[in-house]
A and B are shown apart, each in its own frame.
Chain A
Amino acid sequence: MFLWQVAFAAEVIPAEGEALKWGTALDWAITLTLVLSALILACILVSLIVYRGRQTEGTALWLHLLSLGIFPLLLLAVGNFAVLEYAKEVRFCGSCHRTMKVYIDDLHNPKSQSLAALHLQHRVAPGGECYTCHANYGVHGTFEAKLTGLRDVYTYMTKTYHLPLKMRAPFENLLCLKCHDGAKRYIALEVHLKLATVIKDGKLPCASCHRRAHDLPKPAEATSPGGVG
């Protein structure tokens, strides 16, 4: 693997003994975004030097077609994909250190028995554990999560948050059921079938029978927002 590939690689933590792989859609999207951005800046610079004062001349317009037409439109598509995909990574969620550090520490603690840590240890969604459990299914879920994240950033930047931080809404059973409902081990437990209606309605939270989602060092710190950016 080349050095630049390591530098641009998405932060998926490899399992023990497994080599870091480069070549996911996100890796390519990040690399392409970098290349396109650099090309746009280079073309603008070239046009300013070579066609100075003659920006509307025929040959300059061909260069502008690349730097102000084709490349920017490609950057829109590829950049959006890269940002949305990268925002699903644990590293992105963990970048709000003050509130998320304890959650990320628990997630990556090999001795932790919290649901989050177990999901990571079983490699359910390598690199995207936060997003997989906290965002709803599909494109709608992605945008909803991003909007929640933007709201959190706005609240943080304008310092309009109130301490202690609280979860915006209780964790929905549907977020567990989107993967577990219908799974072989899930339906093997008769109680799941008997209580299917109350579980799906959210009247009986999954956490009432199962272990805690996150093992946090101090109970007071577990009151941070539950939304995923």
Chain B
Amino acid sequence: MFGGGWKVLPGLRTGDWRSKLIALSQIAIGCAALLSLLAMLTRDPLLLLGFGPAQVLILLGVVLFVVVAIFAQRTMVLEEVDPGEMIFQEGDPGRHVYVIKSGTVEVLMRHPDGSQEVIRRLGPGEPFGEMALLRNAPRSATIRAVTEVQVFKMSPSNFLALYTNLPGLRENFNTIMESRLRELEVRKL
């Protein structure tokens, strides 16, 4: 997971501006926290005096986080997922809708005995996560990345605005949802 420098804070290398700001905020506040930890443990006078400039880092980090917190939930964000990583699990609460930009994910369904079965694979342009929002229910399946995946993640309000105002998109999503529901029911029988 922490193979290289960029791997530690992947948001800095890729991802949208919100991920980059969060990564910068983490660097700024992390450095200040490390400095104050060392200063208090060693009581070194130079480290203690370094707490002054570290305050600027803390304030900068907090401001960056506040900017992200204000805007993150209002718009669509691009997220990156590593192979094998879960995007969400069956039964989880969640209302965000995803559209794959690149890569492949697999849809897994849990059997009563606890085992999981891959029921389909999804690729670029295909959406998932809409069933939980439109049916107001927990996630009906687990989504796991097969390759390195980039997904657009839409907030519920953004998706509902599109769903309500664009009949073509609504029809398309309804068709997808009906077919997936049917598949799920068949498999559960």
Contact = CB atoms under 8 A, between A and B. Distances in A.
**A and B form one complex:** yes
Interface in A51-79: 52-58, 61, 64-65, 67-69, 72-73, 75-76, 79
B85 A52 contact: yes
Interface stretch (B38-46, B115-123, B159-167, B180-188): B38-46
Interface stretch (A87-95, A168-176, A186-194, A209-217): A87-95
A72 B62 contact: yes
Interface in B34-80: 34, 36-37, 39-41, 43-46, 48-49, 51-52, 55, 58-59, 61-62, 64-66, 68-69, 72-73, 77, 79-80
A48 interface: yes
Contacts, number: 134
B139 interface: no
A92 B33 contact: no
B153 interface: yes
Query: What is the predominant secondary structure among interface residues of chain A facing chain B?
Result: helix
Interface residues of B, number: 52
A116 interface: no
Interface string B1-22: 1000000111100011011001
24 contacts: A8-B40, A30-B40, A34-B37, A37-B34, A37-B40, A41-B37, A54-B79, A54-B153, A55-B18, A55-B22, A57-B96, A65-B69, A67-B26, A68-B25, A68-B64, A68-B65, A72-B29, A72-B32, A80-B51, A80-B55, A83-B51, A86-B48, A150-B52, A229-B45
Interface of A: 8, 30, 33-34, 36-38, 40-41, 44, 47-49, 52-58, 61, 64-65, 67-69, 72-73, 75-76, 79-80, 82-83, 86-87, 91-92, 95-96, 149-150, 153, 229
